[in-house]
């Protein structure tokens, strides 16, 4: 259940080394989220992420989870929910791939699709069922503005996010009225380095996305764009004729 600050008391991050996931966890811990579970492939990076959150005062556990092994999701995630209520699930895993390479080596494109879409669909449905069974909770799905209209530059990644986005919207409608809240988050390009001079104002950061997630949770938003003006840009791009749209730069 949410505490007096409107923050979940327990959090499950699918994609436990995701920078956006960890930035969100840090902000929620500051708002007194007490139990955090980081799910991902066992690795030193996952353990370092958990140790960093423990230093903030949270009880943090790691969970061995592989998005590319959907056959294991029900058992792995079922154990997490069996240990107690989970107030919020942040589905934050995903891969961008290498567009040019993956066009030449289709199995690379398949891995992008399996991670970003089929793996997310399976994990999302398992978590949605568990949240519905406990009668409350939020499922936050990290989509991408790249899914709004696929571009020549990254259509493999964009198409996988478009599928995930449509799935999450439909899941939100299916769970409406059950006590479970589904929120779709659509960031633009996310940078992890300091801003460069002349960089587009539509480029965002993990911290800004985390702030938007926390605000969206408080408002029980269904869709969040980061930064906010990206919503209007995406709407305008949908109206651009295809002969012009395909001329957008590859890189």
Q: By the 8 A CB rule, do 136 and 1 touch?
A: yes
> Which of 136, 192, 189, 185 lies closest to 165 in space, CA to CA?
185
The catalytic residue among 157, 175, 186, 214 is 157
For this structure, is 157 an active site residue?
A: yes
Residues with Cβ < 8 Å from 42, sequence gap 6 or more?
Answer: 62, 64
DSSP string for 182-218: EEEEEE--B--SPPPTT--TT-B-HHHHHHHHHHHHH
Tokens at 233, concatenated: 């840009």
Distance of CA 186 to the CA centre of its chain: 9
φ, ψ of residue 38 in degrees (nearest 5): -105, 115
Which residues are tagged catalytic? 157
């Amino acid at each position: 259940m949410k505490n007096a600050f409107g923050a979940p008391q327990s959090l499950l991050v699918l994609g436990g080394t995701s920078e956006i996931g960890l930035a969100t966890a840090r902000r929620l811990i500051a708002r007194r989220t007490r139990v955090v579970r980081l799910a991902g492939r066992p690795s030193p990076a996952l353990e370092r992420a958990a140790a960093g959150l423990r230093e903030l005062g949270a009880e943090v556990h790691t969970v061995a989870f592989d998005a590319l092994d959907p056959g294991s999701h029900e058992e792995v995630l079922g154990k997490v929910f069996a240990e107690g209520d989970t107030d919020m699930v942040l589905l934050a895993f995903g891969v961008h791939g290498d567009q040019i390479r993956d066009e030449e080596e289709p199995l690379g494109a398949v891995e992008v699709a399996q991670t970003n879409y089929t793996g997310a669909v399976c994990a999302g449905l398992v978590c949605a069922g568990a949240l519905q069974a406990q009668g409350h909770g939020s499922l936050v799905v990290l989509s991408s503005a790249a899914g709004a209209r696929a571009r020549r530059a990254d259509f493999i990644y964009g198409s996988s996010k478009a599928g995930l986005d449509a799935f999450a919207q439909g899941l939100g409608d299916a769970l409406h009225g059950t006590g479970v809240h589904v929120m779709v988050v659509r960031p633009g390009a996310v940078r992890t380095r300091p801003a460069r001079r002349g960089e587009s104002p539509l480029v965002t950061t993990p911290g800004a996305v985390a702030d938007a997630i926390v605000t969206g949770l408080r408002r029980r938003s269904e869709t969040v764009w980061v930064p906010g003006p990206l919503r209007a840009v995406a709407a305008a791009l949908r109206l651009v004729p295809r002969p012009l749209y395909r001329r957008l730069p590859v890189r």
